[in-house]
Structures are given as C-alpha cells and as structure tokens.
A and B are shown apart, each in its own frame.
Chain A
Amino acid sequence: MNKQHIEIRTDKTMTNFPVEKIRADFPILAELIRNKPLIYLDNAATCQKPQAVIDSIVQLYSHDYANVHRGVHTLSVRSTDKFEGARTKVKNFINAANEKEIIFVKGATEAINLVAQTYGKANIKAGDEILITAMEHHSNIVPWQILCEQTGAILKVAPINLQGELIFDEFEKLISDKTRLVSVVHMSNALGTINPVKKIIAAAHAQGVPVLLDGAQAIPHMPIDVQDLECDFYAFSGHKLYAPTGVGVLYGKQALLEAMPPYQGGGDMIRKVTFQETEYNVLPYKFEAGTPDIAGVVGLGAALDYLNDIGMANIAAYEGELLAYATEKARHIKGLRIIGEASQKGAILGFVVDRIHPHDIGTMLDSLGIAVRAGHHCAMPVMDFFEVPATARASFAMYNTKSEINVLMTGIASLIEVFG
C-alpha cells in the first residue's frame, strides 16, 4: 500500500507539460501489444508519428500531389509550394541563415556520405586526417573509412571515459595541422551523451578545421540553432523527429556548399545540359538530383509545425525529468548497470543486467507490451569499449510518462527474479 502511495506521488511532473494531450495525437499509442497497452521506448531507433503528420501525407496525395519543380500546371505548383514551404520550416527550425543551406536527403546517413563524397573528395588528400570520436554511430565511421580508402587519408578517433564522455583534452590534442575535418555526434544513440559541441567547434575552428555534427539523436530532444553553434554541417533524419522515414536534412554553410562539387547527377540538379558540358543548378538543388521524397518532406514540415506548437525547450525539460526519474529508479535495481553516465545526457537509458543477455530482456519486456532495443545500436566500438556484447536501451520521447517508466522498472525487476 505504502509503496504504491509513494509511486503515485513521484508520478507528478514538475512542469505542466501536456503529455496526455500529446499522447492522444499519436494513434499508435492506443495499440495493444500482446494484449497490453503499448509502451514504446525505442524512440532512438525511430519515433512514432502524430496524426498531424499522417494527415499531411493523406492531404498531399489526396489533393495536392504532382512532381515538384517541373510543370506549370496547378498541382505541380501546389506540390512545389508545399515542398519548398517545408524547406523554409526546416530553415527556421534550426535557424539556418537561408533556404539554400537546407539540402533534403534520405537521412542522416546520406547526409554524412554526401559530405564525405563531395567536400571530402575535393578537400582531403593522402596523409590528411579526419577526426571523429569513440562514440560514433556506424554512419559517422564508415563513410570516413571509405573516404580514407579512396584518398589515403587517416581516420583519428578521440577517446571516451567510463562515464561515456568525450575526453576533451585528448580530443583537442588530436587536432593537428593535418586535420581537415572534425565529425562528431551531437548526442550519442548508444550512451545518451550530449557532447560539448560548442567547445569542440571552437577548438576546431581555432585551427581552421570545419565541423560536421551528426544531429540524428540530438534534434528531437533540444532546440538547435546552427548559427549559434557555428557548426559547418549538421545532419539529421526526419524519422527520429516525428516525421516520415525516407527524408533527412543536410545543413551546410552556404559558402562551403557553393564550393563543393555535386553529389549525384540527374534531373533537378542541373541548369543546362548538352552532351559536351553540364552547368549545375544553384543551391540547394545542386545536391538534390532526381525526384525527391515529396511526401516525406511535406510530412517533415508538418512534424516541425507540431513540435513548434509544443516548444522544443518544453520538450527538453520534460524529457530531462523522465530521464532523471528513470535513472534514479534503475539505480535501485540490483544487478543492473547503466551504460552511459555522462553528466550531460539526453533521454536515453542504456543498461545491462548481470547474467541476463539484452535479447532476453528485450523479449521479456515485449511480452509486457514494452518496446526497448537490444543489441549493439550500430555502435559496435562503443560495445567493445564497455566490454559488453550488447546493451538494452530504453529511449524516451515527449509522449512517454513516469507511469510507463514504473511499468518498465517493475518488469526489469521481475525478469531478474525469473532468471534467478
């Protein structure tokens, strides 16, 4: 009795965050999984979509759809307006200087590959160095390895400590007169660590080195202002930001983008083509060959409207509370070890449990309707560093609640008992 009483009290949130109202906007949250209400805690992999985003796609295909930038007919104009309107929304959302700096791509992965294969190939030569950190997602490792293979450049990796934080002094020491690019994750998907990106950017810029931020995880959890950050490139995916899959953004400073060679060749990215010579289109179209994911982009625009109504600062504050609450509860579970205890962290709780494999944790929690991720989270070097084959990860979004966290923690405690 007593215990329940305490739990109910701690359920109260400090902020007046309208979580119930938000939950009602996400149809999938009413789903039953194995006869239990869904508790979706795999938001770092991808998050669910509000009705407004789903409706925006239905509206487009039902009333406004045609190819963009092609025709003079009414639908093409409507479709183009919506598409370019979404670009303006993205520009405002991250406070870019203008729309030319917003390149639509497939996702964070493609954004990073684009920079590697255009900026990288044009500016990085044999013996040059690219600097990343030991907490990168594979998508911020492999494109650079490919570039190194192509050019003879060298990939340098700044180390992390046992809390899962970048060792900044070591990072700084690794910036040399050979460094041509720093590419770091803004917030780690495996550890939740939020990197001191302003310090990183200042240190790199002091040596004249541009910085790419992999913002795939950071952008759903905090306000992003690329001009304030002064980053040179910022990469993110729509699907982790309540938008559809298949669309993402590369932000780049205009001067850098202007000087870069194109990425893929095709329609839309040209101004004039003859068999002798092709003149490339202006920004941002130079990097957008072929018919884009029109519905995805429109859906992203709708997601940003939705998020602006709630306010990213409010979301950050609410999720911060969820994380603190979950962390505190997890610390009281005997045998559970949190992986990733950086002082600056986003709403991700990675953990392992003595003698119980994360896959078993994942299956057991699934039987309770709880979706968590179990695996290496596309960050095998991070798993190696912590000497675990895999971790379980609960990652939170603005629609999660403390009572869901209570169910999660009770589930973990009981499965530890069952395994004995």
Chain B
Amino acid sequence: MFNDLRDLYQEVIFDHNRNPRNFRVIENADRQVEGFNPLCGDKLTLFLKMNGNVITDASFQGSGCAISTASVSLMTEIVKGKTEQEAEELFKKFHEMTTGKDEEINLEAVGKLAVLAGVREYPARVKCATLAWHTLDAALKNEQKPVSTE
C-alpha cells in the first residue's frame, strides 16, 4: 500500500525508530544541547562526551517522528570517534544530501546516512532529518541555547 514511500521509509529507518541506538543520558556530559522543531513538536536532547576535540560518546533523549528519531540515532553512532572537524564535515555533506541539487550529492561520502536521502523529495520533512545535525552543530560550537529549526 505504501510502495511510493519506500525511498523515504527504508527498513533501516523503521529499525532505528523501533530500537533507537544510544537512547540514554550521559552523566557528566561535556556538551548537552536541546533541539526543537516547533512545527511538529519534536524535541531532543543531545549529549556528547569529548576527549580533546574527539567525540568519545554521543547519546540522546526525546521524542520525534521516525525520520527524526532514525536521523539522531544514526548520527550518534556515526560521530563516535570522530574529531569535531570530521563531524562538521559530515554535517555539511548530510546537509547537501538532504537539501542540495542532485549533482552535488555524494551518497558515498555519507555512508550509512544515505538511507535518509529520500527526504529530499519531501520538503515538509527535511527538517525532521536535519534537526539532529543542527543540534550537534550547536553542541560542537558549544552553544548553550536550545536549537530551533524555525
């Protein structure tokens, strides 16, 4: 019945939605930032543990749609062990993938995150996928203010 949606709702997304990874609080986190999408009420708190400029642990709490939950879940997996610069670079690539023009997109560069490429066809849902990354960006820049997609 939902064949048209297979590009958007891939099995990996359902899987991360059912069993989000790193869904926990990091006690004594070095960074803790809230992200909020006022359009849909999605809220998340991102926790980072840092060693110098390396992200040694990442986790989140909160509630959102399947796209935003899968996006933040995948993100916490992929940024672990990355330097701040590497994570920012990935954010840029992810952003291009979800909002850029076809010719700019390099799916290989984003690895597992490519499962979220389908949101490009659904402008109303792009922010669901990017909320996690905007929150990470704020955390890396050490901003204390909650992030809002609006």
Which residues of chain A have a CB within 8 Å of any CB of chain B? Answer: 34, 356-360, 363-364, 367-368, 374-376, 380, 383, 389-390, 411, 414-415, 418-420
Whether B40 contacts A368 by the Cβ 8 Å rule is no
Whether B2 contacts A359 by the Cβ 8 Å rule is no
The 3 closest A-B pairs by CB, nearest first: A389-B41, A357-B65, A359-B65
Whether B40 contacts A411 by the Cβ 8 Å rule is no
Whether B125 contacts A359 by the Cβ 8 Å rule is yes
Whether B67 contacts A415 by the Cβ 8 Å rule is no
Which residues of chain B have a CB within 8 Å of any CB of chain A? Answer: 1-2, 4-5, 8-9, 14, 17-18, 39-43, 63-67, 69, 122, 124-125, 128
Whether A420 contacts B125 by the Cβ 8 Å rule is no
Whether B14 contacts A419 by the Cβ 8 Å rule is yes
Within the complex, the shortest CB–CB distance from B80 to chain A, in Å, comes to: 26
Q: Residue on B with the closest CB to A413?
A: B1
A356 to B66, CA, bound (A): 7
A142 to B79, CA, bound (A): 41
Whether B5 contacts A375 by the Cβ 8 Å rule is no
Whether A414 contacts B41 by the Cβ 8 Å rule is no
- Out of A34, A367, A411, A419, name the residue touching B66 (CB < 8 Å): A419
Whether A360 contacts B2 by the Cβ 8 Å rule is no
A286 to B4, CA, bound (A): 54
Residues on A with C-beta less than 8 A from B43 are 389
A358 to B124, CA, bound (A): 13
Q: Residue on B with the closest CB to A34?
A: B4
Complex A-B: 7 CB contacts under 8 Å:
A357-B69, A358-B65, A364-B5, A367-B5, A380-B41, A411-B1, A414-B2
A363 to B40, CA, bound (A): 13
A374 to B124, CA, bound (A): 11
- Out of A368, A389, A414, name the residue touching B42 (CB < 8 Å): A389
Given contacts A357-B40, A360-B9, A363-B8, 15 further A-B contacts (CB under 8 A): A34-B4, A356-B66, A359-B42, A360-B66, A364-B2, A375-B39, A383-B41, A389-B40, A389-B43, A389-B64, A411-B1, A418-B1, A418-B2, A418-B9, A419-B66
Residues on A with C-beta less than 8 A from B5 are 363-364, 367
Whether B1 contacts A390 by the Cβ 8 Å rule is no
A374 to B65, CA, bound (A): 11
- Out of A357, A376, A414, name the residue touching B64 (CB < 8 Å): A357
Whether A360 contacts B65 by the Cβ 8 Å rule is yes
Within the complex, the shortest CB–CB distance from A358 to chain B, in Å, comes to: 7
- Out of B1, B14, B128, name the residue touching A359 (CB < 8 Å): B128
A411 to B1, CA, bound (A): 8
A172 to B108, CA, bound (A): 64
A415 to B9, CA, bound (A): 11
Within the complex, the shortest CB–CB distance from A37 to chain B, in Å, comes to: 15
Residues on B with C-beta less than 8 A from A367 are 2, 4-5
Within the complex, the shortest CB–CB distance from B64 to chain A, in Å, comes to: 6
A376 to B150, CA, bound (A): 15
Within the complex, the shortest CB–CB distance from A42 to chain B, in Å, comes to: 13
Q: Residue on B with the closest CB to A35?
A: B4
Residues on A with C-beta less than 8 A from B9 are 360, 364, 418
A34 to B8, CA, bound (A): 14
A358 to B122, CA, bound (A): 16
- Out of B8, B63, B124, B125, name the residue touching A389 (CB < 8 Å): B63
